[in-house]
Amino acid sequence: MGATTTSDDASSSSAVVTTSASTVVSPWGNAHVGSAHLGAPASRPPDSATTIHFSMVGHEYDAFATHAWGKDLLGRCTHTRVVLLVSGLKKRLIKCWLDENQMTGDIVAQMTQGIDDSSVVIVCVTYEYIRKVSGKGPKGASDNCKLEFDYTMRRKGPELVVTVVMEPSCLNPREWEGAVGAQVGGLLYVDLSMDDSHEGFERGLDRVAKEVKDRQKRLAALPRDPVLPSSGDKSAQAGGKAAARCLATNTCCCALACSE
């Protein structure tokens, strides 16, 4: 790519420099050296004991793509690049919900319904997306990115998220601030930070499709219609925690074993 740009946001003045073996000065002020790769080292995702997961049976879409519109720090249109991502996944038989196609009427209702109608959520990470989810965008706590991400964590949990990094400045997840860093910063991610003309972009699309399918398989192994545990039902709550741990670590797929 070899471009040098600065953010159009007055609060972000750090230049981004990237090459094939890139040295990136991130907007958080730290240098990160690296090259194209499939993901960062994974750690165990946060405990999602309070999240109720439903099987993919009945879902209209395979994945919901949440992202920030506008340009990234390299001056590229993020929405255009996400459209390319969704188009590439369609060729790989992954049907995605994208606001460009489905957004009508009540926006909040449509977004939340889109997440509920999808078995997996693809989080497209950019510097602007991280800021907006943290409530630091122009709309503050009312930003659609924040709404989508927060709702995803409540309804799906980190285990049903596929994280895709869309710009080089975000290749180091230790620098992800706020809710994005807290919830998905420790998970493996797929690198689609390169231009779509780069040969690595197609390989990245293959990896995203595989990650979506893997999560659907693990989701399908869970009970289809779980009973919401009451606040006083300690045994049900314990079973929910065990099921969440099993989904996160892929150590078992037996509903009975999870409840023991």
What dihedral do alpha carbons 188, 194, 199, 203 form, nearest 10°? 20
The CA distance from 159 to 157, in Å, is 5
Kindly report whether the global pTM for this prediction surpasses the value 0.75.
no
Q: Do 153 and 120 share a structural domain?
A: yes
**CATH number for position 131:** 3.40.50.10140
**Does a structural domain hold residue 116?**
yes
**Does a structural domain hold residue 24?**
no
Domain total in the chain: 2
Q: How far is CA 175 from the centre of its chain?
A: 16
Give the model's pLDDT for residue 222. Answer: 80
**Does a structural domain hold residue 30?**
no
Give the model's pLDDT for residue 29. Answer: 58
Q: Do 190 and 120 share a structural domain?
A: yes
The CA distance from 105 to 94, in Å, is 26
Give the model's pLDDT for residue 76. Answer: 96
Give the model's pLDDT for residue 232. Answer: 53
Q: Do 236 and 212 share a structural domain?
A: no
Give the model's pLDDT for residue 230. Answer: 45
Q: Do 189 and 236 share a structural domain?
A: no
List the 96-97 sheet strands across, edge first.
Answer: 96-97, 61-66, 118-125, 161-165, 189-191
The CA distance from 260 to 239, in Å, is 7
SS3 category, 235: helix
* pLDDT tens per residue across all 260 residues of the chain: 433 333 344 333 333 333 334 445 556 555 443 333 444 434 344 444 334 444 344 699 999 999 999 999 999 999 999 999 999 999 999 999 987 654 567 889 999 999 999 999 999 999 999 999 999 999 999 999 999 999 999 999 999 999 999 999 999 999 999 999 999 999 999 999 999 888 899 999 999 999 999 999 988 888 765 444 444 555 544 555 455 445 544 444 333 334 33
- Bridge partners of 17, per DSSP, are 4
Domain encompassing residue 133 = 35-220
**Does a structural domain hold residue 61?**
yes
